[in-house]
Structure 1
Amino acid sequence: MNCDIDHLVIGAASLAQGAAWCEATFGVAPGPGGVHPFMGTHNRLLRIDGPGFANTYLEIIAIDPSAPPPGRVRWFGLDDPAVQARLAQGPQLLTAVARTPNVEMLRWGLINFAADPGPALAAERMTPEGLLSWRILVRDDGALPGQGRLPVLIQWQGRHPTEAMPPSPVALQAVRFGAVQPREATLLRFRGAQVVAGGPAIAVTLDTLRGPITLSTA
């Protein structure tokens, strides 16, 4: 069983700021996204299929100021004051999300390695093309798995969001994990991504209208 890179998560202080950053950085505006009422967030999306990275997209996500408090800690560390302080300086790559056909099995494998990624939450949102449903591992404290060295794991149920996304001039070229442990890499079996020794926890390179762009986590 392999894990494929599903999408990259760019956090922003506001969705408008994130969209402006995307256009300035990549030369293209992101497409529409949606809202996540159960998390109090909203997003915009951009398809970034590249060699070895099919059905992959970029997610720009921010706290939705019009949404009521979700009653729980938000995903991707968005409620962490340190993360919010960084996003106040500009949008940043927060993590990568990897998809798997069996998120529960990999969850227990990581728990056995003392890298608890959190329980699998059932989520969904309606789109003009129909309902999107998925299960995603989210820690109760909102922290990223493995203190940010591991991707978040997702299992789609039915349609994948890229089915309704037009192609874009941005293409994912490389994903590198710099702190994944050998036994974690053996369990997750990343397809297309590299596990390297050292460097940022997660670094990605994209081919864009502005030339090659490399982003990395803090």
Structure 2
Amino acid sequence: MSVPHLLDHIVIAGPDLQEAVDWFRDLTGVTAAPGGVHPTGTANALVALTVGGEPRPYYLELIGPDPDREGEELPKKFNIHRLKKPTVVTYAVHPEGIDQVAERARAQGVDLGPVQDLSRRTPDGTELQWRLTQPPPPPNYGVPFLIDWGTTPQPGLGDLPALELLSFERVEVKPEPLQQATAALGLDDGVAEIREGRGSRFVLRLRTEDGREIEI
């Protein structure tokens, strides 16, 4: 079991945000806190992740369509328009110098996409701003995206409900291509461990407040 030391947050996406929040509460006993809305037509809810009971700059993001968006079309972000249920889809890491890491990966044949400025409004109206890489289509969500919060406080250290993170890893039938792609980032154990197994999926293990160990 392992936790990537450069982990920033893990993304669980679904076709309906409230249903994802309810599903997560039923599974873990924790209700994710409202995060805010994005210009991409999505909204999120957040849960902090601790390791060994100690706070870390890690969090879990439940993301789905903004219920107040215009129109009924589902956002394409994280393939939300194709999902039938909440799914662990990808994760972000926060290395030093994301521009340089992206350039290094591109030189190795792995295009993380451009570094872009993004923002969201919290329920109290506060605007949070950050920079991240946007993978080109078709996105390989097995490779993490890079994020830099700049002067914005990292949400995982905020006033959020919390769960203990036991491990986070990727399973692949043929792990070598993804291992080569993540190695191009030059972040070593800063990214999730990739192991051989059935299917292509992330495996997230958490410990609930009542001591249960669950796997998503």
Pairwise TM-score range, normalised by the shorter structure: 0.7 to 0.9
CA deviation string 1:126-154 (max 9, x = no partner)? 3348432111111243x43xx23211211
Task: Say whether residues 1:94 and 2:89 are aligned partners.
Answer: yes
Task: Say whether residues 1:26 and 2:19 are aligned partners.
Answer: no
Aligned to 1:44: 45
Aligned-pair identity in percent equals 25
Q: Over aligned residues, Cα RMSD in angstroms? A: 2.6
**Offset at 1:3?**
6.1
Task: Say whether residues 1:136 and 2:132 are aligned partners.
Answer: yes
Residues 163 and 190 of structure 1, relative CA distance in 2, 3 Å threshold: same
Which segments of 5 or more consecutive residues in structure 2 lack a partner in the other structure? Answer: none
Aligned to 2:13: 11
Query: Contact 1:10 / 1:59 at 8 angstroms: preserved in 2?
Result: yes
1:118 corresponds, among 113, 122, 130, to: 113
**Offset at 1:99?**
1.4
2:170 corresponds, among 146, 162, 177, to: 177
Aligned to 2:189: 190
Q: What pairs with 1:33-72 in structure 2 (closer than 5 Å)?
A: 33-37=35-39, 39-51=40-52, 54-68=56-70
Query: Contact 1:3 / 1:188 at 8 angstroms: preserved in 2?
Result: no
Q: Secondary structure at the match of 1:46?
A: strand
Residues 212 and 177 of structure 1, relative CA distance in 2, 3 Å threshold: same
Aligned to 2:214: 213
Which segments of 5 or more consecutive residues in structure 1 lack a partner in the other structure? Answer: none
Divergent runs of 4+, >4 A: none
Residues 152 and 209 of structure 1, relative CA distance in 2, 3 Å threshold: same
Task: Say whether residues 1:166 and 2:165 are aligned partners.
Answer: no
Partners of 2:201 and 2:150 in 1: how far apart?
28
**Offset at 1:74?**
4.0
CA deviation string 1:17-50 (max 9, x = no partner)? 111111011111111110002x110011111122
**Offset at 1:14?**
0.6
**Offset at 1:213?**
1.6
What amino acid is aligned across from residue 145 of structure 2 in structure 1? V
Query: Contact 1:3 / 1:189 at 8 angstroms: preserved in 2?
Result: no
Q: Secondary structure at the match of 1:165?
A: coil
Give TM-score scaled by structure 2 length: 0.79
Deviates more, 1:151-160 or 1:2-11: 2-11
CA deviation string 1:89-133 (max 9, x = no partner)? x21111111112211111112212222121111012233484321
Partners of 1:118 and 1:54 in 2: how far apart?
27
Task: Say whether residues 1:150 and 2:143 are aligned partners.
Answer: yes
The number of equivalent residue pairs is 198
**Offset at 1:78?**
2.6
